[in-house]
Amino acid sequence: MAFESLADKLQSVFKILRGKGRLTERDVRDAMREVRLALLEADVNYKIVKEFVASVTEKAVGANVLESLSPGQQVIKIVNDELTSLMGASNSRLTFASKPPTVYLLAGLQGAGKTTASGKLAGLLRKQGKKPLLVACDVYRPAAIKQLQVVGGNYNLPVFEMGQADPVAIAQAGVALAVKNSYDVVLLDTAGRLHIDQELMEELTRMKAAVHPQEILLVVDAMTGQDAVTAVESFNNTLGVDGVILTKMDSDARGGAALSVRKVTGKPIKFVGMGEKIDDLEPFYPDRMASRILGMGDILSLIDKAEQALDKQKAIELERKMRQNEFSLDDFLEQMQQMKKMGPIKNILGMLPGLGRMNLDEVDVDEKSVARTEAIITSMTREERRNPAILNSSRKRRIAAGCGQPIQEVNRLLKQFEEIKKLMKGLTGPGKGKRGMFNMPFMK
C-alpha cells in the first residue's frame, strides 16, 4: 500500500506527541528529527525534506502552539497542512478542448504503465459521459499494439491502429477518425524507451506539433522514487508536461515520488494508479492523501468509491429491510459483493478515520472471505437463506459438504450474520451502531 512505511513512522511519532499534556521546543525538535528520517527513508528529495522540516518546526515552536490546550494536535495539523501544500494543495483536473475532440498525449518511459493507464483513463472519462478513442502509437515495442487492443477489449473501448506505420501519421489519422465518428476524446498511447533519448523526444515533439494535444500527461512508475522526478523534469524541458499519472501506487511502500514531483517540477499529479482494474485509477487529492498518511482516514475518497460501486436503489431497499427486520443472507452476500467492488479491504479500512492510525498489518483481513461466503450461502435452500433460524445440525452438515467448507466455517458465518444484523439494526436508530467494524465478515 502506498506510503505504508512512511505512514507507520509518522503515526508513531505523533502518537508520542498526543500522549504529552504539554510540549516543549525540545519535544518538537526531537519529533521533527524523526519526521526528517522518515521522509528521507521514503525517498523524498533531500532539499524538500530540509525545507519541509524547517517550515514545520518554525510554525510548531510558536507560543500559540506550545501553550495551546492540545499542542500535539496542533503540530499534527501543521504537518498535515504542509504535506498538503507539498503535494499541490488541491486536485488538478483535466482540461477539455472548446471544440472536440480533446486529445491527450500519454508519454513516459518503457515499463511505466502507459498502455494500462490509457485504458483506465479512457474508462474514467467514459463514466463522465465522454466517448473516448484509444490510438496505438507505439510501433516499436513487441506486442504493444496487441496489448492496447486487449486492454480496449477488456473494457469495451474502441482502439485505432495502423500497424507499424509512422507514429505521427497514426496520431493524425486517429484524430481524423475521431472527428468523423464523433469521438470527443482521443488518447494517444505513445512509445517509450528504457531511457530518455533524443530520438524519442523528437518523435514526441513532431507528434505534439501535428495534433496539438490539449494536455501531455506523463506516466511514471511510483516505485522508481526520485528517478520518477528526474523523468518528469526531462520530459517537461523538451515537451512541456501538463500533468503526471503515478502508476503502481498500491505497490509503492515509500511514496517519495508523490511527495517530490510537484515541489521539484511544478507539475501536478492528476491521477494515481492503485491497482490493475479499470476502476483503480483515481484522481489525486493532496489533502486526502495527507490525511491518509497521518492516519486521519480519507472519508471523502471512501464516499466516492461507495457512490461508484454501490447501487442507490438497492441501498434504499436495504435500509427498508433493516428497519422491518427482513435482512436475509442473500442481502448479506450482496452487500459483501458490492463492498468488494470498492477495492482491497485493507485499503478501505485505511480510509476510515481512527483505523488509519492502526497498523493494518496487525489486523487479520481475509480477502477471500467473499468467495467462501458465497459458496456457503449458495449451498443453502431459498428458505434457509431467508430464515437461518431453521438451520439445525443436519442442515449445516449438508451445507458444509455442498460448499467444501468445514462446518465450523458455516457456524462462523451464521454468527457473523447475526452480529451484522444487530449492528445494522442499531445503525437505523439514533446514537447507536458505534461498535462493530472488527465484527465484519472479512475479519478473522
Q: At what angle do helices 25-41 and 46-60 cross, to 10 degrees?
A: 160
Residue limits of CATH 1.10.260.30 in the chain: 302-439
Helix (H, G, I), strand (E, B) or coil at 379: coil
**What span, in angstroms and rounded, lies between the C-alpha atoms of 377 and 331?**
11
Residue limits of CATH 3.40.50.300 in the chain: 102-295
pLDDT tens, position by position, for the chain (444 residues)? Answer: 556 778 888 888 888 887 777 778 888 888 899 999 988 888 888 888 999 999 999 888 876 666 665 777 788 888 888 888 888 877 888 999 999 999 999 998 888 889 999 999 999 999 899 999 999 999 988 789 999 999 999 889 999 999 989 999 999 999 999 999 999 999 999 998 777 788 888 999 999 999 999 999 999 888 777 777 888 888 888 889 999 998 887 765 566 777 888 888 888 999 988 777 777 888 888 888 888 777 665 445 555 555 555 566 666 676 677 667 777 888 888 777 776 666 665 566 555 555 444 444 444 455 567 788 889 999 999 899 888 989 999 999 999 999 999 999 999 889 888 887 776 666 555 444 433 333 444 444
**What span, in angstroms and rounded, lies between the C-alpha atoms of 228 and 108?**
10
**What nine digits make up the cell of 262?**
510537484
Residue limits of CATH 1.20.120.140 in the chain: 4-86
For residue 5, the Cα-to-chain-centroid distance in whole angstroms is 17
CATH top-level class of 302-439: mainly alpha
Helix (H, G, I), strand (E, B) or coil at 210: helix
**What nine digits make up the cell of 372?**
467462501
Q: Selecting from 1.10.940.10, 1.20.120.140, 3.30.565.10, 1.25.60.10, what CATH number does the domain 4-86 have?
A: 1.20.120.140
User: Which residues are registered as beta bridge partners of 216?
Assistant: 105
Q: Selecting from 3.40.50.261, 3.40.50.300, 3.20.20.80, 3.30.465.10, what CATH number does the domain 102-295 have?
A: 3.40.50.300
